[in-house]
Structure 1
Amino acid sequence: MSFGQGGPHGAPGEPHRPTPQWGPPPPPQPWGAASGAPQTPDWSALADDTAARGRRRKWLLLGGGGALATAAVATAVAFAVTGSHGGGKQSGLPAPEKLPSSSGAPEPSFSENAPPPPPNPLDFIASADKDKAPLSTKTLFPHTKPVLYKRTYERTATATTTDCASATQGALGSVLADNGCRKVLRSTYVRDGIAVTVGVAVFDDKAAADKAKEQSAGNIASLPGDNAPEFCRATACRLTANAIGRYAYFTVAGFANGKAVDSGDTAALQAGRDVSDYTFRRIMYRAQAQAADSVRSAPPPAKRA
């Protein structure tokens, strides 16, 4: 139905009022016939026109009228969903209690069933309570010819003592003793006429080792090999001092023949740094090995019922 459509010659919006006719209406005219010439209806043409209109109507519904169809479907679905939560009929949708509870897919694992995070290796060397792995020059310095930054050194001597001061020169002995040193492990390495002794002082906890490193004075005593001259005794040499966990470690580096190291020498400086880095890696290896062992020996996490 159309509203506001004007007549053939009337003003827009004015409804067209047909002239009253008295008596029986004239017979219908065929499409395309001249006005005032009544004829028998062309039923074949009328049938074709009706079919054409039907096709056009179908096209409008499927194509041009797609938005109306979509809106109608959306309205029907919205009404059905709303009705399913109201007090009326369910509009053919299943009740909530009849819906499947799960899709059948496996449920995801949550944190309570996940393995615990790996332990921090540094925790195992922070105190004697957890640092229980065997400790000796064989476990700490196992390599006879370590390659440090593509430079090969030869291990010439090792020693262990519980008299920490006896493995030092100058004030370092009292520093170690005052902080509760338990023992000192030493190892000497030689390369191209340069000798380096590293001494690892063992304490009960990290705080004591850090304090000994900060207070360090004097130096670790060099440890010459069999039938080798002493070095770095009463002569200038290169020194380092470091700490990690409950270990403080010190190096002294100089000429193997006892010659003093001058201020411009870099060979002894490099050798001391190489051996110091090697010692750090060996202590860290100890920490990592104990952390890995703790994971392997830990019971599996309990599964949630």
Structure 2
Amino acid sequence: MSFGGPQWPQEPQQPGQQPFGQQPGGQPAQQQYGQGYGRQGQQGQQPNQQQGPPFGGQPSPFPGATTDGTPDWGALADASAAGRRRKRWLVIGGGALAALVVGAIVATAVVKSNKTDDPAKNGTVTPTGSAAPTDAPTPGPSFSSVAPPPPPNPKDFISDEKKDKAPLSAEGLFPGKKLTMNSRAYTKGATSSTTNCASVAQGGLGAVLTKNGCDRVIRATYVKDGVAITVGVAVFPNEAAALKAKNQATGGIAPLAGAGVKDFCRATVCLRRANSIGRYAYFTQAGFLDGKKVTTSDQAVFRASDDLGTFAFNQIYARGKSQASAAAGAPGE
């Protein structure tokens, strides 16, 4: 096993010799006896035979010295090799011990981390007090496999008299004393409501309303800057009848005077229009209060007719929307 860092310490090398305890190439030297220096004195003597201390009986200045004062190079090489082995084992043992300590620290941190993360992973928190923790997972939300029904369509409620049950009146369709459309303010005049549909029609419109089963006509008149507009809403049993009345319309709704508005559109040319939504057909007649004939260049009359037709449409649709909202919130719907 090898470790990074400094290399093993080397003994100083004598000139012309290999390092103590090594052969060329770095291999440890083998112990040899019977030749050269080391543990043999003069040739022919027995190995390890001790000589008397030199210099008048003084001890050898260092271990491994021979009796003649010459160092025992073999003994020094053995001592150096033994020292290197001890250092090597100390470093190896120290590295192994450090690895064990680091492993123990990491293992402890992992265990603590797992214990800390468990509540987040499981979605539970250890209860306090005397209650025992439970291993049962927290139940998730449940959803019905049955798709909810779509919300009611407002047009369904204004297309058939069997569903269109909300109260119907002139004040309900045309509330207040004024209305504003596209930043243009109109003042309301007279209003009326009748079940005799033909009586409030001009030309051939009365016959058309009667033939298609008209139940009621509600009218209101508005004025602005010398222009008067009467809007009439005719009510039919179903959408098909209202659509036929619009397509067959001829003549127009009768102008409604009163409440400060004098007669208009008498023996002159006025702008007449017809449209429908659901079981309702609505008609407008617009002209000048002074009896002037309406031409295509009179944009004020056309704008007034557009504004009142749009207002009638919005009011009828709002009627269906309110009934649809009530049905959506009612039990069993």
In structure 1, the residue matched to 2:279 is 246
Deviation, structure 1 residue 54 = 5.5
Give the share of equivalent positions with the same residue, in percent.
Answer: 45
Give distance in 2, aligned partners of 1:177 and 1:43.
Answer: 129
Aligned partner (choices 80, 88, 106) of residue 49 of structure 1? 88
In structure 2, the residue matched to 1:189 is 222
- Structure 1 residues 208 and 101 mapped into 2: Cα distance closer, same or farther (>3 Å)? farther
In structure 1, the residue matched to 2:158 is 125
In structure 2, the residue matched to 1:138 is 171
Contact 1:181 1:203 in 2 (8 A): yes
In structure 1, the residue matched to 2:310 is 277
In structure 2, the residue matched to 1:202 is 235
Contact 1:229 1:257 in 2 (8 A): no
Deviation, structure 1 residue 35 = 9.5
Give distance in 2, aligned partners of 1:36 and 1:227.
Answer: 140
Contact 1:229 1:258 in 2 (8 A): no
- Structure 1 residues 104 and 216 mapped into 2: Cα distance closer, same or farther (>3 Å)? same
User: Within the alignment, does 1:110 sit opposite 2:143 as a pair?
Assistant: yes
- Structure 1 residues 36 and 177 mapped into 2: Cα distance closer, same or farther (>3 Å)? farther
Contact 1:230 1:257 in 2 (8 A): no
In structure 2, the residue matched to 1:97 is none
Does the residue aligned with 1:47 lie in a helix, a strand or coil? helix
Does the residue aligned with 1:129 lie in a helix, a strand or coil? coil
- Structure 1 residues 148 and 53 mapped into 2: Cα distance closer, same or farther (>3 Å)? same
The one-letter code of the counterpart of 2:138 is: G
Give distance in 2, aligned partners of 1:208 and 1:191.
Answer: 33
Does the residue aligned with 1:146 lie in a helix, a strand or coil? strand
Give distance in 1, aligned partners of 2:283 and 2:310.
Answer: 11
- Structure 1 residues 101 and 135 mapped into 2: Cα distance closer, same or farther (>3 Å)? farther
Give distance in 2, aligned partners of 1:181 and 1:243.
Answer: 13
In structure 1, the residue matched to 2:78 is 39
Deviation, structure 1 residue 240 = 2.2
- Structure 1 residues 35 and 295 mapped into 2: Cα distance closer, same or farther (>3 Å)? farther
Deviation, structure 1 residue 215 = 2.2
Does the residue aligned with 1:250 lie in a helix, a strand or coil? strand
Does the residue aligned with 2:231 lie in a helix, a strand or coil? strand
Does the residue aligned with 1:252 lie in a helix, a strand or coil? strand
Deviation, structure 1 residue 117 = 4.0
Where does structure 1 lack aligned partners over 5 or more consecutive residues? 1-24, 28-33, 62-99, 301-305
Deviation, structure 1 residue 44 = 4.1
Give distance in 2, aligned partners of 1:41 and 1:299.
Answer: 101
Q: Could you state the TM-score of these two structures normalised by the residue count of structure 1?
A: 0.66
Q: Could you state the TM-score of these two structures normalised by the residue count of structure 2?
A: 0.61
Give distance in 2, aligned partners of 1:203 and 1:154.
Answer: 28
Give distance in 2, aligned partners of 1:58 and 1:132.
Answer: 91
Give distance in 1, aligned partners of 2:234 and 2:202.
Answer: 14
In structure 2, the residue matched to 1:13 is none
User: Within the alignment, does 1:257 sit opposite 2:296 as a pair?
Assistant: no
Contact 1:175 1:216 in 2 (8 A): yes
Deviation, structure 1 residue 136 = 1.1
Where does structure 2 lack aligned partners over 5 or more consecutive residues? 1-29, 33-72, 101-133
- Structure 1 residues 118 and 53 mapped into 2: Cα distance closer, same or farther (>3 Å)? same
Deviation, structure 1 residue 272 = 0.8
The one-letter code of the counterpart of 1:50 is: W
Give distance in 1, aligned partners of 2:162 and 2:183.
Answer: 37
Deviation, structure 1 residue 109 = 3.9
Give distance in 2, aligned partners of 1:124 and 1:278.
Answer: 19
In structure 1, the residue matched to 2:330 is 297
User: Within the alignment, does 1:178 sit opposite 2:211 as a pair?
Assistant: yes
| Matched pairs, number | 234
Aligned partner (choices 229, 241, 247) of residue 214 of structure 1? 247
Alignment RMSD, CA only?
3.3
Contact 1:194 1:254 in 2 (8 A): yes
Give distance in 2, aligned partners of 1:139 and 1:190.
Answer: 19
Deviations 1:171-221 (A, max 9, x none): 222222222211111111111111000010111111221222222222111
Deviation, structure 1 residue 244 = 1.0
Deviation, structure 1 residue 292 = 2.0
Deviation, structure 1 residue 47 = 2.9
Deviation, structure 1 residue 269 = 0.6
In structure 1, the residue matched to 2:267 is 234
